[in-house]
Amino acid sequence: MGEILVFDVDGTLTPPRSMMEDGMARLLRQLAVERPVYLVTGSDLAKLLRQVPADIAGRAAGVFCCSGNELWRGGRLTYQMRHEFPDELVDFATQLLGSAQYPTRTGNHIEARTGSLNISVVGRNANMIQRRDYFRHDKANGERAHIAAAIEAKFPQYEANRGGQISIDIAPRGWNKARVVKEILGRSPGLPIHFFGDTVCEGGNDLPLALALASLGSEHVVHGVADHHETLAILKARYCAGQPASEVA
Ligand code: M1P
């Protein structure tokens, strides 16, 4: 089928911060042979490879890391967009994290990535239970939305989007996942893109890419999914129909 598949990773192809399950991996290997497959993540490559088998990252037509500020192809870095964040912004983010209502702090609260800063109240050292607890708190209290809004109000030249369960990605305005569209269509002009993301909601870091595709026309399709199970179900229905059950991933 002549279309391009673009996937967010964490929560879309994998359970949060966990390795891809075997069924998804088998299907992606097959799909990547038949059409261009791209991965787009807020994380850096080292973290991505803790969630995606290396051979799948290698087979992908491209792996965009750090919200599209790095592109990897066949294990080689193709481009990198760097940015020096002002101390005032880092200080302000530090204050906001420190004064947030949530009581638990685990360490590693501000992580510098290529072209982006990833910040977290509970901290990137949180274990799975601490992540889940923070996610629940944030859902009930909108803490990350509040912090992101405060950052954008004080530094309008930057954007702040919710990452996965616990963090916020900060980047110069426009340096978000939407930037991958130009690169992808430049390599495969005329092909429609199907994008799968679990945070295409307001404030989510998949939303800019979803909006960019919507603005280009209805041939491009956005699949807002609840989790990796839904992604797998859509992929099977779309690409494995008519295939004998024993051959379906
Ligand atoms: O890829 C989605 C997000 O994954 C992580 O989110 P969190 O730690 O909040 O669950 C981060 O790597 C984040 O940058 C990324 O956008």
Quote the pTM value.
Answer: 0.90
Greatest Cα-to-Cα distance within the chain, rounded to the nearest angstrom: 59
- Digit-coded pLDDT (tens) for 119-160: 999 999 999 999 999 999 999 999 999 999 999 999 999 999
Question: Would the CB of 143 count as within 6 Å of ligand 1?
Answer: no
Q: Report the nearest-CA residue for atom 15 of ligand 1.
A: 42
User: CA 188 to CA 179: how far, in whole Å?
Assistant: 15
- Digit-coded pLDDT (tens) for 156-187: 999 999 988 999 999 999 999 999 999 999 99
Q: Which atom of ligand 1 is the closest one to the Cα of 9?
A: 1
Question: Would the CB of 42 count as within 6 Å of ligand 1?
Answer: yes
Torsion angles phi and psi, residue 3, rounded to 5: -145, 160
Question: Would the CB of 68 count as within 6 Å of ligand 1?
Answer: no
Can you give the pLDDT at residue 1?
Answer: 54
Write the CB contacts of 153 (distance below 8 Å, at least 6 apart in sequence).
none
- Digit-coded pLDDT (tens) for 46-80: 999 999 999 999 999 999 999 999 999 999 999 99
- The count of residues in the chain is 249
Q: What SS3 string covers 193-236?
A: EEEEECCCCCCECCHHHHHHHHHHCCCCEEEECCCHHHHHHHHH
How many CB atoms sit inside 10 A of residue 209's CB?
26
